[in-house]
Amino acid sequence: MKELETLKKEFETNIKEIKTEREVDDIYLKYLGKRGIVNKLLAKLATLPSGDKKVAGTEINNLKKGIQRLIENKKLLLTTENIEIGDLTLPGIKPQIGHTHPITQMKKYAEDIFLTMGFEVVDSVEVDNDFNHFETLNFPKGHPARDMWDTFWTKEYLLPIAHTSTMQHRLLKTRKPPFRAIIPGKCFRHEATDTVHEHTFYQIEGMYVSKTASLAELIGVLESFVYTYYGYKIPYKIQPTYFPFVEPGLEMLVEHKLKNGQKKWLELIPAGMIHPNVFKMAGVDPNIYKGFAWAIGLDRLVMLKYGISDIRDFHKGDLRFLQQF
């Protein structure tokens, strides 16, 4: 068998060197001619025991077919061009191709997973008012939990959104349950920047509303997403946490393997069952409908995937960074 492998390599090297039709004829005779190498091999078959014979026979036949194909290709190349090919190792003249941003790529990947799960993809606003961003999400004015959001404010009392949940009220108002949707968006928080903190970041909000939505289904949906996203059954755990617009509120953590082989739990997806007050604000009866919602931080997913050490590279616009994607 090893013999066949060597023979194949030898042939491939030889045929690359060939520049004329005549040489093609020669190599044909050498390998596939009546007294050629392949026929000699076939002749040897008779001496083998019957089990081995079958295996070896197939392999030799495959080799023969491969050689035939390469010879035909070469012939075609030389006859159609009908010119002498000089140096085939000259580098190609490359077209310039661009690159999409790594967050664009990862967003598409995540969106496509949810699309196959029956979620529609809805666009988010970038600037919103207090009503959509806080009040309809069960944060009355002066609510202490507002502190957790570190929002920017404009003179008009508008705010660059600090979470894509700002779209929840609109979706509840405009869609007739049951519905399921994800909402990617650009978000902003008043935060000093360093290698792991950025005032501008990207989220994918998810919402599912039906008569039968439950915690078990919420965990099921998130589990399906992370298993698909990572491509294996990544270990995860669910912990309680607090957000005014969900009850119960929870957080999914996944096991992240550090470069030194250690494992660490990473907070990945805050989530929860939609709070009855959020339903009521949108005129949906919480005694009939239930739902769950979550937000995925895209930046972190991308950083983990590629081992990016500085989150600020995302907005720097440096091609040396971007052209790697």
Active-site residue, selected from the candidate residues 203, 213, 254, 278: 203
The CA-based angle 126-127-132, given to 5 degrees, is 110
13 neighbors 31 (Cβ within 8 angstroms): no
CB of 58 to another protein, least distance (A): 43
Give ∠ CA 47-55-64 in degrees, rounded to 5.
Answer: 90
d(CA 274, CA 244): 9
**For residues 183 and 296, what is the distance between their CA atoms, to the nearest angstrom?**
10
Identify whether the C-beta of residue 236 lies closer than 8 Å to the C-beta of residue 223: yes
- DSSP states of 53-70: HHHHHHHHHHHHHHHHHH
Task: Name the catalytic one among 121, 149, 170, 199.
Answer: 149
Q: How far is the CB of 320 from another protein (least distance, A)?
A: 6
Selected catalytic residue, list 133, 169, 180, 189: 189
Choose between 52 and 150: whose C-beta lies nearer to another protein.
150
∠ CA 247-251-252, nearest 5°, is 135
> Which of 133, 163, 169, 275 is flagged as catalytic?
163
Q: Is 324 designated active site?
A: no
70 vs 311 by CB, closer to another protein: 311
Active-site residue 145, yes or no? no
Q: In the complex, what is the shortest distance from the CB of residue 45 to another protein, in angstroms, rounded to a whole number?
A: 52
- Written as six digits, the tokens of 230 are 């990572």
If the CB atoms of residues 86 and 144 are measured against another protein, the closer one turns out to be 144
Q: How far is the CB of 106 from another protein (least distance, A)?
A: 12
Q: How far is the CB of 147 from another protein (least distance, A)?
A: 8
- Residue 246 annotated among the catalytic residues of the structure: yes
Q: What backbone phi and psi angles, to 5 degrees, belong to 274? A: -60, 130
Other C-beta atoms closer than 10 Å to the C-beta of 253 total 16
Choose between 86 and 142: whose C-beta lies nearer to another protein. 142
* Token pair for 149: 């959001």
User: What residues pair up with 35 in beta bridges, in sequence order?
Assistant: none
Contact 203, 180 (CB under 8 A): no
Choose between 163 and 275: whose C-beta lies nearer to another protein. Answer: 275
Q: How far is the CB of 231 from another protein (least distance, A)?
A: 18
For residues 61 and 239, which CB has a smaller minimum distance to another protein in the complex? Answer: 239
CA 58 – CA 61 distance, rounded (Å): 5
Q: Would residue 315 show up in a list of annotated catalytic residues for this protein?
A: no
Active site residue 312: no
Q: Active site residue: 110, 122, 209, 246, which one?
A: 246
Interatomic CA distance for residues 131 and 170, integer angstroms: 11
Give yes or no: 149 in active site.
Answer: yes
Catalytic residues: 149, 163, 189, 203, 246, 293
